[in-house]
Amino acid sequence: MCLKRQYVAGLIGSLGALCLGMVMGWSGPAEMLIAKGKGYSFVPTSDEFGWIASLMTLGAASTCLPVGYMAGVLGRKMVMIAILIPLMLGWLLITAATHVLMVQLGRYVTGASVGVYCVLVQIYCTEISEVKNRGVMGSFYQLWLTIGILISYTVGAYVPLFIFNIFSTVVPLVYFLLFIWMPETPAYYVQKGKTDKAEKALHWLRGKDADISADIQAISIEIKKEKVNIRKAMGRKTTLKGLGISITLMALQQFIGINAIAFYSTSIFEEAKTGIPSEVCTIILGIVGCIAVAPAIMFIDRCGRRIFLFVAAAVMCVMHFLMGAYFHWLRDKNVGWMPILAICIFVFAFSMGFGYLPWLIMAEIFAEDVKPLCAAICGTLNWIFGFTVTKLFPICLSVAGPAITFWIFAANCRIKGASTIRLMI
């Protein structure tokens, strides 16, 4: 069977994660520019910027449930394309803002738009791929996410905020022009009784001479086997166990502090006094995140999901402890390289494991009839967890200090990481 077109469709479909990464990475470089009065005619207070950063996650949480339903009704591809309209409108609000409320509203709208991609990109890639290359296809999400963050860090560091915002507005249009040519998932077509369209999509993905009868039959059997009342479907033991695993993974992904680092990276490096410009440190961080996806792509289907999660949790725990130790004992000891190294290793480990595996596992473990709803529930909770961390992070820094804050993240890696591995056994 031909894998080339599957990879093309997966890479282009996953560009939604690029849009998500750019929204997530925006607040890092924008924070310093806005604080210095270089972004707008107004300067937000620290609390107002905290809302600017965190409202993106709250917006994402608000749309996962309805979009999960819409994806089951209208199709994965249709929803992924339609959501680009409010995304561009949100960026235009941020670009033309004359008051802090406009920026906050723009962040909420962009978050509400791109948040759905964390759910739909993995579902789309899972449903167009063969089992043997599903891990590779799932890693495209993290690849584009880290590239999106890197683009925001780099562009935001070297161009005026207005140009940065305009550039961010144009990227979704490029995504639309590419993705419009890709097929809908065969599973969606079979669910809707459109077998002819499912066959056409499979021939496009597998090759025109490929024998797709087994694929159609497998999808049909899966859908008929699980086709029961939604309440009964949600009450199945397999569904409840899947929800337990997925929600635990989502909680761990957020409570280890990745969004705090992604959203406040520039100010973290400023506070650490590394001796290197914070903008450069942030760009290095983005590059490391991109590089880390390579070993994940090469080894995820060989080594399995659990070992990646276990190793990543252990490494991240150690790096958070070292960050706490630096801020508590070593900040004045001429070891400015230490926080850069620790955060880079943390991001490397995260990108290899917890960056995309929670979403990939979520897309793999649920039956077709409950997948959109369960994915929406998990996505909503993930972004609620993310909002909590993003909003509380600057408060914890000011009240408890950076050392205690990073040690809390280390404890989360240790406790929640162990519970997650046990749950998956």
3-state per-residue secondary structure call for 250-282: HHHHHHCCHHHHHHHHHHHHHHHCCCCCHHHHH
CA dist 381 and 397 (Å) reads 24
Question: pLDDT tens across 233-248, in order?
Answer: 788 888 898 898 899 8
Question: pLDDT tens across 105-148, in order?
Answer: 999 999 999 988 988 888 899 889 887 787 788 788 888 998 99
Q: Give the pLDDT confidence score for residue 150 in this predicted structure.
A: 93
Q: Give the pLDDT confidence score for residue 227 in this predicted structure.
A: 58
Q: What is the mean pLDDT of residues 50-57?
A: 89
Q: What percent of the chain stands above pLDDT 90?
A: 34
Q: What is the mean pLDDT of residues 413-417?
A: 73
In this predicted structure, the answer to whether residue 408 has a pLDDT above a threshold of 90 is yes
Pick the closest to residue 89 from 106, 67, 102 (CA basis): 106
Q: What is the mean pLDDT of residues 41-55?
A: 87
Which residues lie below 8 Å from residue 281, measured CB to CB, with a gap of 6+?
265, 266, 269, 274, 340
C-alpha count within 13 angstroms, C-beta hemisphere, residue 391: 13
| 421 vs 277, residue with greater confidence | 277
pTM score of the predicted model: 0.85
CA dist 377 and 123 (Å) reads 14
CATH number for the domain formed by residue range(s) 4-182+226-424: 1.20.1250.20
Identity of the amino acid at 225: K
Q: What is the mean pLDDT of the chain?
A: 86
| 220 vs 152, residue with greater confidence | 152
- Report how far apart, in Å, the C-alpha atoms of 329 and of each of 87, 323, 406, 408 are: 44, 10, 13, 17
Q: Give the pLDDT confidence score for residue 228 in this predicted structure.
A: 63
Pick the closest to residue 377 from 207, 230, 159 (CA basis): 230
Q: Give the pLDDT confidence score for residue 417 in this predicted structure.
A: 61
Q: Give the pLDDT confidence score for residue 136 in this predicted structure.
A: 81
Q: Which residue has the tokens 């900040």?
A: 331
Confidence of residue 200 (pLDDT cuts 50, 70, 90): very high
| 285 vs 210, residue with greater confidence | 285
CA dist 62 and 115 (Å) reads 9
Q: What is the mean pLDDT of residues 340-346?
A: 92
